[in-house]
Amino acid sequence: MQIVNLKDELNHLVTLASWHHDEWGYLNPDATLEERIEEMKRCLGPEFIPTTYIAKDDELLGSAAIVEHDMDTRQELSPWLASVYVAPQFRRKGIGSKLVLHVMNQAKENGVETVYLFTPDEEQFYAHLGWKPFEKTRYRGYAVTIMKVNLQSKS
């Protein structure tokens, strides 16, 4: 398995956008797949934030991204781990953990001290990787946990 920048594997963009749209479309029900594709294209520039990484071998396995903001209600928090997704047939094989750790390492190398995320149901998964609960809240009608990790304290 390799983890690479999506901008180096553009052939996976539409598939990945479709996966994300199917998984999280309920959080933004008015958005179309085409809008999601355009949003993902913003992660293809030269800047570190935003960047989407993909896990692949012979096929696309999953993704994780670092973005400036992932909750429009919490603009004061930045940056965010986002779009952590592993295709169902590849789950429970450590791919998600490797993607998250890759983004964390890239963020640390780029001088980022703290990263945030929100999750409706995967708090245990992220806690195992060193993330701490920051706040329980509601976002777009759903209960979520905002978590954070301090990258400078990890060795």
Task: Tokens for 39, please give them.
Answer: 């949003």
Look at residue 146 in the predicted model and tell me its pLDDT.
98
- Neighbouring C-beta atoms of residue 38, cutoff 10 Å: 11
CA 35/CA 48 separation, integer angstroms = 22
- CA 153, 67, 4, 15 torsion-angle sign: positive
Q: Dump pLDDT digits (tens) for 33-59.
A: 999 999 999 989 999 999 999 999 999
Task: Supply the mean pLDDT for the chain.
Answer: 94
Q: Examine the pLDDT at 155 and tell me if it is beyond 50.
A: no
- Cβ-contact 83, 66 below 8 angstroms: no
Amino acid in the structure at residue 100: V
Residues above pLDDT 70, as percent of the chain: 98
Q: Dump pLDDT digits (tens) for 69-120.
A: 999 999 999 999 999 999 999 999 999 999 999 999 999 999 999 999 999 9
Domains and CATH numbers, the chain: 2-153 (3.40.630.30)
Q: Examine the pLDDT at 66 and tell me if it is beyond 90.
A: yes
